[in-house]
Each structure stands twice: as C-alpha cells, then as structure tokens.
A and B are shown apart, each in its own frame.
Chain A
Amino acid sequence: MIPGGFEYHRPDSLAAAVGVLREYGDDARVLAGGHSLIPMMKLRMADVEHLIDVQDIAEMKGICAEGDKIAIGAMTSQHELIDSPEIARVVPILSEAALQIADPQVRYCGTIGGNVANGDPGNDMPGVMQCLDATFLLHGPDGPREVAARDFYEAAYTTARDDEEILTAIRISAHAPGYAYEKQKRKIGDYATAAAAVLIEKRDGLVANASIAMTNLSDVPVWSEAAGADLFGTDCGPEAVAAAVDTMLGDIDPTEDNRGPVEFKQHVAGIILRRAIARAWSRA
C-alpha cells in the first residue's frame, strides 16, 4: 500500500506554509500527524499533489494557559494533551477524550488540529469542541480569523476552513467541574459507535448550565442546545435526563454501517448519553 506520488514541502514558518497553499490551491494539503491523511493516501482515497508538512512551524505548537483561558497549538499531539498539567487544570474533558482516541502510537502522532480540521464525523474532538464552545484560529493569505467550533462543520469532510487557510490554534475557556466524555467502541483503536460530551455547572443543587454534544451519529458533530436546556434548573433527576436524551435522539441522524443499523445506534446513543450525564453530574 503505497500512496501516489507527491511533492513534499516542509516550510518553517506559517507565512511560507500559507504561500505554498496559495500557490497550489486545492492540489495542496497540510500534513500534521498524518494519521488520518496517510491511511487515506495509502488507500488512494486521497490524491494529493503537494504535501505541506507543518511540523517545523513554531507558531502552531505549545499550550498556553492564562487564568481560565487556554490556547492550544494545532500541532499539539493527543499524547501531549494527556500529559499536560495545564489541560488537566483548565479543560480536563480534553484529556478524558484524548485517552479514548485510538491507541498510544496513534496518540503520539495525531494532533488536535488535524483531529478538528479533518472533518471526519468519526473524530472525537469536534463534538468536544462544540460542547466547550471552542474557537478555532485560522490563518490565510489575508491574515488570521476566528471561527466558532459550533459554526465550523458543514458536512462530512467539509468545514468552514478555506483551502488556503491553516488552522493554527484552538482557544477554550475553563469548563465547569461537571464534565464527562463517554464513548462506545467495538474495540480499542476504533472510532465511536456513539460518544457523548457533557458539561454541567451546578449551583445550589440544581443545573445552572448544561452543554451536550455527540460524535459519529450524523455527518457532523451534534451539539444540541435544546438537550442542554432540558437539564437546566433541574436536579438532574430521571425525568430531566430522559427528556434530554429524548431531545438528543431526535437531533442525531445516524446511518447504517459496519457499526450497526440505525435502531442499534439510537439505542447505544441513549445509553452513552445517560452515562455521560450521570458522570458529569457526579463531578459537578
């Protein structure tokens, strides 16, 4: 399994990388960890003429926490997320999610930028980013711009990123202590049959804020504002949870594939969401 031929570029600055993208347009692709792109190239499902390896670009690296805000460079690997004390302090849901992605070898290579930019509905981070209301920083020929994670995903492999833009960083605010990322997969290293990201803020014994998103149950991640609202003001009892799960099951749109028929996915989605809500509430 050898990919088609391509020209390899390894620029050492963002400006140079954008320059290559500009020159070759959609014949060029960014290569981050390569653990989504290279398998696709080996299967000849992706045909790339120019690969831009961004591993030397300092502007895309590092984790920077200031108070309750954190900026994560796009080239931060999933392994680095798990290892980072800043992530554990400000946005621990990211380490919890990263630990459920693939296997150790893949996590050393796979980057958070690649995971969110890829646009594969099976990727775990996009749902987490929508749950967190994260902001993506994109850099193109006209300079930087910001796009909310909740506005980024248009269809499978289609995002708000222009062909000439590079995702450089992700900005997130600290989340409430009640968090959970729960994932059902067939085996280690598999994409989700269903996964749920839940954040709950508790005040005076009641839900003061809730955010719920799910993974791989539609061609884009599904953040359901209404499902979160079903929990608001309640003590997260069985009726409120049932309402939130019902709302979410109405918002997802799974299709049949080798992970099972639609009915099964609806069933698994309900169970996984219940577990995620229960764990988030127990930590809130």
Chain B
Amino acid sequence: MSETTSQMNIKLTVNGEAHEVTCEPRALLIHVLREDLNLTGPHIGCETSHCGACTVDLNGKSVKSCTLFAAQADGAEITTIEGIANPDGMHVLQEMFREHHGLQCGYCTPGMITRAYRLLEENPAPTEEEVRFGMSGNLCRCTGYQNIVKAVLAASDQMAAQKEAAE
C-alpha cells in the first residue's frame, strides 16, 4: 500500500462561488466540502454509499459525495444545501419540510432536500410513487418517510402555483 502524499489543485464552483483547493487525490468530496470549504450542511451518515445524507448536486445530478473523489469533481458546479435557500428566504422545499414535519432529528434533511430539489427539477409534478422511488437513495431513521413524501409533494404543488402566478 502506497501512502502517496502527492497533492493536487482542483477548481470547484460551489453554490455559485469559485474555489481552488489543494488536496490529496484520495480526498473524498464530502471531506473537501466540509473541512476545506466549511460547508457542513452535507452530512456523513453511513460513509458506505447507502444513506444519502451526503447528497449534493453536481453538474445537475444528485450524487453521494462520500463516494466521489474531489478530483473527479475538478471543474464541476456543485450545489449543497447551503446554496438551495434563496437570498430572500428559505426554499419552498425547506418551508414544506418544516410545515409538514418532514424532519425530526434533522440529520438526513440536507441530503433529503438536496435530492428532492433535483427530483423536482427533473419531474416538477411527480406522483407519490415517483417521489418514493426518486427519494429511495436517502434514508431517514426518524420520520418513517410519510411526512417527507408529503413535504415533497406539497413543495411540488407550491412551485407549480408560484410558476402559474408568475405567468
């Protein structure tokens, strides 16, 4: 086993802001986000690619940042939960999670909302079944999922109403 300590420079655009980071090739994206960029919204739950607490949006895809080297994301655009809120307040998804009790301890919530964000971008009007299938990479040990599904469906309705009002 070689413990190469070679370092590399990578460029990431995170929540609209350009960053340059020096890290080892083996640095995982979640560690660079949390430890180098101080973005502690994405959580480390299982560390084994199962729970989705570490989900971030990378070039328009929901990815588990514990299963990606930061080097692979060199040049990428990343959105974390910190970048989901609007300047003038919470994102509709965040409001609906609050209103429908889509969280208890909150540990899974950043990953849930970041994933739900991409799900609604791809499918603005999902059925309940589509929400359950689309959120199946995120585990929650508290809520029993019912209220998470309700919150995502409510956010979808609200976003459609907002869009209609804007037109």
* Proximity bits, B51-73, A CB within 8 Å = 1, else 0: 01001000001111001110110
- Say yes or no for B43: interface residue by CB 8 A criterion: no
- Say yes or no for B28: interface residue by CB 8 A criterion: yes
Interchain CB contact under 8 A, A8 and B3? no
Most buried by B among A41, A42, A55, A104: A104
Interchain CB contact under 8 A, A5 and B3? yes
Interchain CB contact under 8 A, A5 and B67? no
Number of interface residues of A (CB under 8 A): 32
A79 to B24, CA, bound (A): 29
A4 to B68, CA, bound (A): 14
- Say yes or no for A204: interface residue by CB 8 A criterion: no
Interchain CB contact under 8 A, A103 and B136? yes
Interchain CB contact under 8 A, A106 and B137? yes
Interchain CB contact under 8 A, B72 and A31? yes
Interchain CB contact under 8 A, A8 and B61? no
- Say yes or no for A51: interface residue by CB 8 A criterion: yes
Interchain CB contact under 8 A, A109 and B137? no
Number of interface residues of B (CB under 8 A): 35
| Chain A residues within an 8 Å CB radius of B8 | 8
Give B163 Cβ to nearest chain A Cβ, in Å.
23
Q: Known interface pairs A6-B4, A105-B115. Does A35 touch B49 (Cβ–Cβ under 8 Å)?
A: yes
- Say yes or no for B48: interface residue by CB 8 A criterion: yes
Interchain CB contact under 8 A, B28 and A2? yes
A1 to B48, CA, bound (A): 9
Give A41 Cβ to nearest chain B Cβ, in Å.
8
| Chain B residues within an 8 Å CB radius of A2 | 26, 28, 31
A8 to B135, CA, bound (A): 32
| Chain B residues within an 8 Å CB radius of A38 | 49, 67-69
Within 8 A of B (CB), among A72-108: 79, 102-106, 108
B-binding residues in A (CB < 8 A): 1-8, 10, 31, 34-35, 38-39, 41-42, 44, 47, 49, 51, 53, 55, 79, 102-106, 108-109, 188-189
22 contacts between A and B (CB under 8 A): A3-B26, A4-B26, A5-B4, A5-B6, A6-B2, A8-B25, A31-B72, A34-B68, A38-B67, A39-B49, A47-B1, A49-B2, A53-B71, A55-B72, A103-B136, A104-B115, A105-B64, A105-B115, A108-B61, A108-B62, A109-B64, A189-B50
